[in-house]
A and B are shown apart, each in its own frame.
Chain A
């Protein structure tokens, strides 16, 4: 049983390392995009691993919405110790998951001061969600946005093949 501060600190170090590493290579122009995708990729792999374990004993899902409900409840509780506060969908493959107190943002000030830094700390979690959904058979694109700390919205767009 690991303690959550440990994960939070590790996550911070991870973000810091990835950004520092890229900056030192002098690729400032494509800097942001590659860092985000690196972090996202790491999250993806971990999300895949986690979902294998979480769904070991769960019954199969009826449809996409059922899967999303599972992500909002069981997955989120397992990973971030709380449920998603609000789930919305347009019934055409786009879902918006809103977390009013996202665990990885609670260490920041609630003001606007660090709003610009926030996306760095969401990339990994986007990857987690994408990896989890991918192993449940849903290809999707996951993005996140913060308008007011520490709440954040994840947008999941299912890719039609």
Chain B
């Protein structure tokens, strides 16, 4: 890689605390708006989805990653390129299902939860659920329907944070109605 491109990515890096704290403020606000944790999880996922469908364009434009045919390759790109680029961490990819359609991302540390402690009365809140939505939305834009959820979370006393991804199907490329 040339130096020029390194510099541009550097200048795009911002203070991670701003993002972490902003996210925290958002979750707090959602918890106020909806009294029910399930509803908060759903909202976070939806917002993540909206972010994901836009983020994928940014990602493809900046990463020069081509089209992936294989779910395994996709997993590698997500863990090694996308997470690195946006959150500065590289989760490990493990627990492949025999059919190769399911895997886990293991996050040693989760940058979204840096200053967070989950109170007891929010035991069913999935604090970082936004990430699931982002992954789902982004992959949908490259014609992959994927089910994403947290199966372990350090916030709830697990040793690691684990995101389980399950490939559902490849989506057909539909032309928009009325297009030739």
Contact = CB atoms under 8 A, between A and B. Distances in A.
Q: How large is the interface on B (under 10, 10 to 19, 20 to 34, 35 or more residues)?
A: 20 to 34
B29 A4 contact: no
Nearest to A127: B25
Interface string B91-122: 00000000000000000000100010000000
A76 B90 CA distance: 29
Given A3-B86, A50-B18, A50-B21, A13 B51 contact: yes
Contacts of B17: 49-50, 53
A42 interface: yes
B50 A13 contact: yes
Interface stretch (A14-22, A65-73, A142-150): A14-22
A2 B11 contact: no
Contacts of B30: 17
A45 B21 CA distance: 9
B67 interface: no
A101 B28 CA distance: 30
B interface, over-half SS: helix
B25 A42 contact: yes
B13 A1 contact: yes
Given A1-B13, A14-B26, A6 B86 contact: yes
B170 interface: no
A interface, over-half SS: helix
Contacts of A5: 12, 55, 58, 86
B14 A81 contact: yes
Nearest to A79: B18
A3 B14 contact: yes
Contacts of B18: 2, 7, 46, 50, 78-79
Contacts of A114: none
Interface in A49-64: 49-50, 53
Interface in A1-54: 1-7, 9-11, 13-14, 16-18, 21, 38, 42-43, 45-46, 49-50, 53
Interface of A: 1-7, 9-11, 13-14, 16-18, 21, 38, 42-43, 45-46, 49-50, 53, 78-79, 81, 124
Closest 7 pairs (CB-CB, A-B): A1-B88, A2-B19, A42-B25, A4-B14, A2-B16, A46-B21, A9-B51
18 contacts: A1-B88, A2-B15, A3-B14, A6-B51, A9-B55, A10-B19, A10-B47, A10-B130, A11-B22, A14-B47, A16-B50, A17-B43, A46-B18, A46-B24, A49-B17, A49-B115, A50-B17, A79-B14
